[in-house]
């Protein structure tokens, strides 16, 4: 694997899920595989889980790891070609990428959507520059439009906790005070469409996800109706994807104070099939979900986060196999 962005990059999902369980039984089974190989993890944005779980995954495989926080100690990077660099950005990505690549064998990138220019974000400009100019395998640690390590961990978690062959999984929008990217819901939708689940998306009008991720998934604008009989509730806020309203791309469409009935609470969970609650974290309590729901025995947020180590170990192993 030379690039990890989309569900197809992993090939057969059943094989990948079996590999995840194999690694979960023995995290150090492939500890010889990464000997003298170095993973460089480049963060343009904050992270707790991705930073720790991806480092742990690399250590499971016997790799060395270097973490770079671009905004905490590195030179500010220019990403646009053709500009006169007379501002506060001292270095260009076009030099920085091959330099970084010279010190490592694999590169992970966290670079969120800017949420200003839909075309720039949806063409994965930063990630693709790393792919093009590093000459090394590259994997997404949440890029402008996708968070596949999260979606893979979510799928592993659903497989572990499902009690029926084809569970009903509902992705629900929930309110948030700041504009957030669409990467998590994009990937979640993409992966659920590829998995053997009954998948429904619910959100207020105007938050329709891009077709290339939502595919033919059912969209139900009535949240309570969507929740009926659900086995898994996956909550997440996202800003306007600009599908039906391109001028609103990256914005919050209505003041969150008016949207608080979308906060996942016992009221909505009551109509589900005793559903498990999921969220990728970090989560704002009282906005996305109430304390009682996230603290209930049905909440999977901690095992879900723990599975990030497993998804990252599988992905790094696949990359190492093809170095
Ligand atoms: C980010 C997001 O919504 O994409 C990261 C989630 C894993 N969340 C925040 O910035 C709060
Ligand atoms: N879920 C997730 O990716 O968390 P971090 O932003 O803390 O890495």
CB of 148 within 6 A of ligand 1: the answer is no
Q: HSE on the CB side for 46, CA within 13 Å? A: 3
Atom of ligand 1 nearest to the CA of 183: 4
pLDDT tens sequence across 92-133? 999 999 999 999 999 999 999 999 999 999 999 999 999 999
For residue 52, how far is its CA from the centre of ligand 2 (angstroms)? 9
Give the span between the Cα atoms of 277 and 233, in whole angstroms. Answer: 5
Give the span between the Cα atoms of 237 and 263, in whole angstroms. Answer: 10
Q: What is the pTM of this model?
A: 0.98
For residue 297, give every residue at least 6 positions away whose Cβ sits within 8 Å of its Cβ, in sequence order, or none. none
Contact 288, 173 (CB under 8 A): no
For residue 147, how far is its CA from the centre of ligand 2 (angstroms)? 9
Write the residue with the smallest CA distance to atom 1 of ligand 2.
Answer: 280
> 288: buried, middle or exposed (CB in 10 Å: 19+, 13-18, 0-12)?
buried
pLDDT tens sequence across 36-47? 999 999 999 999
Distances (CA, A) of 225 to 200, 219, 222, 228: 10, 11, 5, 5
Contact 250, 204 (CB under 8 A): no
Q: What residues pair up with 70 in beta bridges, in sequence order? A: none
Q: For a substitution probing ligand 2, which of 69, 143, 178, 308 has the most ligand atoms within 8 Å of its CB?
A: 308
pLDDT tens sequence across 160-209? 999 999 999 999 999 999 999 999 999 999 999 999 999 999 999 999 99
Mean pLDDT, range 257-275, rounded to an integer: 98
Q: Please give the pLDDT value at position 323.
A: 94
- Residue percentage of the chain with pLDDT more than 90: 99
Whose tokens are 């992993």? That residue is 10
Mean pLDDT, range 129-155, rounded to an integer: 98
Give the span between the Cα atoms of 68 and 246, in whole angstroms. Answer: 34
Write the residue with the smallest CA distance to atom 3 of ligand 2.
Answer: 50
Mean pLDDT, range 289-313, rounded to an integer: 98
Structure tokens, 276: 């498990």
Q: What is the mean pLDDT of the chain?
A: 98
Which of 282-286's residues contact partners 24+ apart within 8 Å by CB, and which partners? 282/48, 283/235, 284/176, 284/177
Q: Is the pLDDT of residue 243 over 90?
A: yes
Contact 214, 145 (CB under 8 A): no
Atom of ligand 2 nearest to the CA of 147: 3
**3-state secondary structure at position 169:** strand
Q: What residues pair up with 234 in beta bridges, in sequence order? A: 171, 278
- Element holding 219 (H helix, E strand): strand 218-219
Q: Is the pLDDT of residue 73 over 90?
A: no
Domains in the chain, start-ordered, CATH in brackets? 3-146+308-320 (3.40.50.1370), 150-304 (3.40.50.1370)
Mean pLDDT, range 50-69, rounded to an integer: 98
Q: Is the pLDDT of residue 299 over 90?
A: yes
pLDDT tens sequence across 15-37? 999 999 999 999 999 999 999 99
Atom of ligand 1 nearest to the CA of 180: 3
Q: Please give the pLDDT value at position 315.
A: 98
Write the residue with the smallest CA distance to atom 4 of ligand 1.
Answer: 181
**3-state SS of the chain: helix, strand, coil percent to 5?**
40, 15, 45
């Amino acid at each position: 694997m030379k690039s990890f962005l989309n569900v197809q990059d992993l090939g057969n999902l059943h094989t990948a899920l079996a590999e995840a369980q194999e690694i979960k039984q023995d995290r150090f089974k492939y500890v010889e595989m990464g000997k003298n190989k170095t993973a460089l993890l480049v963060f343009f944005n904050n992270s707790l889980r991705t930073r720790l779980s991806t480092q742990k995954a690399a250590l499971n495989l016997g790799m060395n790891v270097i973490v770079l926080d671009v905004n905490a100690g590195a030179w500010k990077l220019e990403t646009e070609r053709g500009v006169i660099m007379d501002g506060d950005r001292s270095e260009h990505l076009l030099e920085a990428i091959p330099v970084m690549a010279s010190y490592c064998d694999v590169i992970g990138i966290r670079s969120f959507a800017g949420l200003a220019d839909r075309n720039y974000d949806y063409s994965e400009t930063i990630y693709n520059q790393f792919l093009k100019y590093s000459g090394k395998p590259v994997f997404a640690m949440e890029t402008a439009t996708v968070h596949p390590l999260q979606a893979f961990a979510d799928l592993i978690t659903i497989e572990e906790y499902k009690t029926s062959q084809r569970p009903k999984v509902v992705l629900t929008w929930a309110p948030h005070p700041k504009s957030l990217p669409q990467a998590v819901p994009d990937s979640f939708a993409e992966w659920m469409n590829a998995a053997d689940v009954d998948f429904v998306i619910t959100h207020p009008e105007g938050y329709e996800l891009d077709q290339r991720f939502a595919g033919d998934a059912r969209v139900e604008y009535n949240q309570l109706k969507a929740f009926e009989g659900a086995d898994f509730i996956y909550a997440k806020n996202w800003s306007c994807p600009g599908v039906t309203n391109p001028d609103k791309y990256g914005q919050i469409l209505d003041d969150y104070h008016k949207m608080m009935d979308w906060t996942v609470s016992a009221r909505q969970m009551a109509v589900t099939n005793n559903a498990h609650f999921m969220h990728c974290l970090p989560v704002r309590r009282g906005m996305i979900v109430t304390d009682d729901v996230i603290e209930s025995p049905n909440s999977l947020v901690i095992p879900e986060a723990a599975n990030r180590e497993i998804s990252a170990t599988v992905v790094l192993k696949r990359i190492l196999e093809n170095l």
